[in-house]
Amino acid sequence: MILGICVLAWAGTACAWAQQKPQAGQDATPAPPSAKNGGKQSAAAAAAALEQQDLQKAIEQAGNDRAALMYKLMDFLAKYPLTEQRAQIYRAIVESSLQLRDFPTATEYAERMVSLNPGDAATNLLAIQLLERHGDASGWRRAVNYCGRVLEIVHRESVTQKSPRQSSEQFEKDRQHDVASVLLVRGQLYQKLNEPQNSQKDFETSYKMAPGASAAEHLGELAEIRKDLAGAIHEYGVAFALADTSTGSASRPELRKKLGNAWRLAHGSEDGLGDYLLRVYDETLAAITGPKPARNTGRKEPANFVLRKVSDGSLFAMADTKGKVVVMNFWTTWCGPCREWEPHFEKVAGLFAGQEKDVIFLEVNCDEDETLVEPYLAEEKLKSSVVFADGLDRLLGVDSFPTTLVLDRAGKIAFRAEGVDTDNPEASLIEVIEKALRPAEIAPAATVE
């Protein structure tokens, strides 16, 4: 989607056009136009050649000095204010000034870029960010107008423009997130402009479209300004609950201070705050994630379960493991001991590589919020098959993490361990698996006298 731009990203890019050097054997100064082309055409060509020569000279004189490049380009614009290359020059000045932390210059030329290309969302967003952070009241008002323009651009986007790899549902979800992000920034601008009603409306709409800690925190601040302590406590509590999962800038330590202060003002002490926070946390997460669809309802044996693969959502039938030893690690993304156990479980799985006909290892995720799983796996890069529990944890009574279970070839539980054995975390599991893989011993026939 269009809102992936960041001010810092601009400062880290180079002006490719400004770095270009003439190729070997090529003169940096264009040849003067031939007189046979006619007076006007000849004069225009000569002027263009001179302009290009001056631009190349400015770039070469600046070398690798960003400050020099910025001032040389500004001098060039003073001489050639209507140059056809001013879009690239504006961008180069913005990049240089951001690296030099010259935010007034960056803001000025970002707005010049907007005036050249008002329909470019990324350019509008850059100007919005700079004005919100470094502008004054008149700048904030212009940024509000730019926000409205970006919202129009987002709303005009069609699902036909989506990437082939993106589903229609994800496209719409991303669009809602984009709108929520712009509304959040516009709400902050209204807050700076002392327009609480407008900021309240934008923060509320932003939260409804994409619940986040920052929107809730700002709603808490507005409630506190209105002397609505109960409302402030609720919003700060919601922000506190979302701060670890939100992509916003809300800080849990700062939220803790704001929440504690509002609670003390309302109740005289912090007694009861902990219980309140736990309740708000549960309510907030339940409201955001919604009820999980019941899967495998009524099934009484693990072999009857059909799970979903995390990688692509395809189905994994536990019936296909019949006759095999099944080793399962039940885990969640928020569980610290699970991270500690993962490398041990993966190491054990590696010891039995090549024996997939007899033993299978499953990483079984039990997160309520399944959207947390993909980023976790991108970081951890697990090698074993990863599936969602889809009720298997409920059937097997898994209520603490990590829990490791081994089903023998008959589908019966041969091993169960909760937590991590810090003394010898792998040996017991290896021993159980090896035992389960051995052929069943045949009892000797009775001797007839």
Locate 259 and state its tokens: 């929440």
pLDDT at 2 over 60: no
Q: What confidence score (pLDDT) does residue 37 get?
A: 55
pLDDT band for 248, please (50, 70, 90 cuts): low
The answer to the question of residue 28 being in a domain is no
Answer whether 90's CB lies under 8 Å from 113's CB: yes
Give the strand pairing for 413-418 and 385-388: unpaired
Q: What confidence score (pLDDT) does residue 32 get?
A: 52
pLDDT at 301 over 90: yes
- Structural domain span for residue 325: 302-437
Q: What confidence score (pLDDT) does residue 370 get?
A: 87
Q: What confidence score (pLDDT) does residue 45 get?
A: 87
pLDDT digits (tens, 9 = 90+) for 100-157: 999 999 999 999 999 999 999 999 999 999 999 999 999 999 999 999 999 999 999 8
Tell whether 163 and 218 lie within a shared domain: yes
Identify the residue whose tokens are 């967003």: 125
Q: State whether residue 415 is helix, strand or coil.
A: strand
For residue 185, give every residue at least 6 positions away whose Cβ sits within 8 Å of its Cβ, in sequence order, or none: 128, 129, 132, 143, 147
Tell whether 320 and 431 lie within a shared domain: yes
- The average pLDDT across 410-433 equals 90
Q: What confidence score (pLDDT) does residue 425 get?
A: 80
Of 229, 251, 284, the one marking the end of a domain is 284
Of 284, 310, 342, the one marking the end of a domain is 284
> What distance in Å separates the CA atoms of residue 360 and residue 177, rounded to the nearest whole number?
39
pLDDT at 311 over 70: yes
- The average pLDDT across 385-392 equals 96
Q: What confidence score (pLDDT) does residue 6 get?
A: 47
pLDDT digits (tens, 9 = 90+) for 21-48: 444 444 444 555 555 555 667 888 888 8
Answer whether 240's CB lies under 8 Å from 255's CB: yes
Tell whether 167 and 76 lie within a shared domain: yes
Give the predicted TM-score (pTM) of the model: 0.65
Nearest C-alpha neighbor of 332 from the set 291, 298, 363, 292: 363
Tell whether 244 and 320 lie within a shared domain: no
The residue type found at 300 is K
Answer whether 42's CB lies under 8 Å from 33's CB: yes
| CATH at residue 432 | 3.40.30.10
Q: What confidence score (pLDDT) does residue 39 get?
A: 61
Number of domains in the chain: 2
Q: What confidence score (pLDDT) does residue 152 get?
A: 95
pLDDT digits (tens, 9 = 90+) for 168-193: 888 888 899 999 999 999 999 999 99
Q: What confidence score (pLDDT) does residue 218 get?
A: 97
Tell whether 395 and 260 lie within a shared domain: no
Answer whether 9's CB lies under 8 Å from 122's CB: no
- The b-or-e profile of 363-398 (16+ CB within 10 A means b, else e) is bbbbbeeeebbeebbeebebebbbbbbbbbbeebeb
